[in-house]
Amino acid sequence: MTDLIDPVDRAIINDLQSGFPICSQPYAEAAARLGIGEDALLERLRHMLDRGVLTRFGPLYHAERLGGGLTLAALEAPEERFEAVAAVVNAFPEVAHNYRREHRLNMWFVVATETPERIAEVLAAISERTGLKVFNVPKIEEFYIGLRLDL
Amino acid sequence: MVVTWRDRRLIEALADGLPLAARPYAELGRMAGMDEDEVIERIQAMIAKGIITRFGVIVRHHELGYRANAMVVWDIPDDDVARVGEAMADFPFVTLCYRRVRRPPLWPYNLFCMIHGRERETVLEQVEQVARGCGLENARRDILFSLRRFKQRGAIYRRDWPALELAAGTGG
């Protein structure tokens, strides 16, 4: 699916995943760095957003530093009711991401809440409504949160 | 109070992303009721304080062909985990690296890293590279590829706030 983007798009993505200029005319500055025109950069960003190659263009926030709570949790959903359990878990507005993964603990989800205290309440509610034990594996230390992808 | 109400107004104006216009910060300022200089200062301050971890394009890994998304987990002695975590974070293909709470006996792992790749085989080879590079050939580990993504969206931080894109613990 990489044919969705050409080499110029790729250069834009690699260059602009971080360090976007915070100045009066940032697109002009970023475009100069990439050796293309400002209009061309804006047009390509718009096009990649329209096609869903980019989720968005802007900030990524650190939940805890914004004052909120964030954790990763997992549960072991029986195969025969996996879909039903996923529907229950996904219905919680605090559940941001949810992935099926290869393990006995087959459902892994991120919970983000308004306050750190609220995490325990949401996990308890998920456990109660699914009838399953929820494994909470909160972060102790961050070594890298770059989330960069070099194309 | 980590963010002020003026920061909050700016965060709300940024909910749909940075405007695609020649002077995007001036435009954000019009939406948030402040001038361009103040917008620039506030965004720079939020980056400096680590409230904004990254500012730029946010890609959809899956749509770009990065379908092999592995959560690689390791059981590392607690007194060695900081060294290993730092070393692991240096690999260019590691996109996230965290120390987390263990839940033995089912979940003995305390170090998590994410690797996104196009092919499963490449990711498995990269896991071997990490193991060799960090001296973890004998460490207990597991590789949890994602089979299906059920939900991926900007997380809600406050009910009356817009959905914000968070640097979350797993993703892709």
Q: Classify residue A151: in a domain, yes or no.
A: no
Distance, in Å, from the CA atom of A40 to the CA atom of B74, rounded to the nearest integer, reads: 45
Residue A42 sits in the same domain as residue A103: no
Distance, in Å, from the CA atom of B127 to the CA atom of B104, rounded to the nearest integer, reads: 23
Residue A65 — very low, low, confident or very high, per pLDDT cuts 50/70/90? confident
**Residue A70 in this model has a pLDDT that exceeds 50:** yes
Who contacts A33 (Cβ-Cβ below 8 Å, separation ≥6)?
A15
Q: How many domains does chain A have?
A: 2
- Domain with A99 in it: what CATH number? 3.30.70.3460
- Could you report the per-residue pLDDT of B55-104, keeping only the tens digit for each? 988 887 777 777 888 999 999 999 999 999 999 999 988 988 999 999 99
CA B36 to chain centre: 28
Residue A127 sits in the same domain as residue A70: yes
Q: Which of residues 54-93 of A touch B (CB under 8 A)?
A: 54-63, 65-68, 70-72, 74, 86, 89-90, 93
Contact assignment for A13 to B159 by CB distance below 8 Å: no
Give the pLDDT mean for A45-57. Answer: 90
Residue A146 — very low, low, confident or very high, per pLDDT cuts 50/70/90? low
Residue A46 sits in the same domain as residue A72: no
Q: What secondary structure letter does DSSP report for B110?
A: -
Q: Classify residue A83: in a domain, yes or no.
A: yes
Q: Classify residue A32: in a domain, yes or no.
A: yes
Chain A interface, best mutation among B106, B150, B160, by max A CB count within 10 A = B150
Residue A90 sits in the same domain as residue A26: no
CA-based nearest residue to B21, from B41, B2, B39: B39
Residue A116 sits in the same domain as residue A71: yes
Residue A115 sits in the same domain as residue A73: yes
- Could you report the per-residue pLDDT of B31-49, keeping only the tens digit for each? 999 999 999 999 999 999 9
CATH 3.30.365.10 fits B62-145, yes or no: no
- Complex ipTM more than 0.90, yes or no: no
Who contacts B40 (Cβ-Cβ below 8 Å, separation ≥6)?
A22, A23, A24, B25
Structural domain including A132 reads 64-136
Peptide bond into B162 cis (omega under 30): no
Residue A36 sits in the same domain as residue A12: yes
Q: What secondary structure letter does DSSP report for A66?
A: G
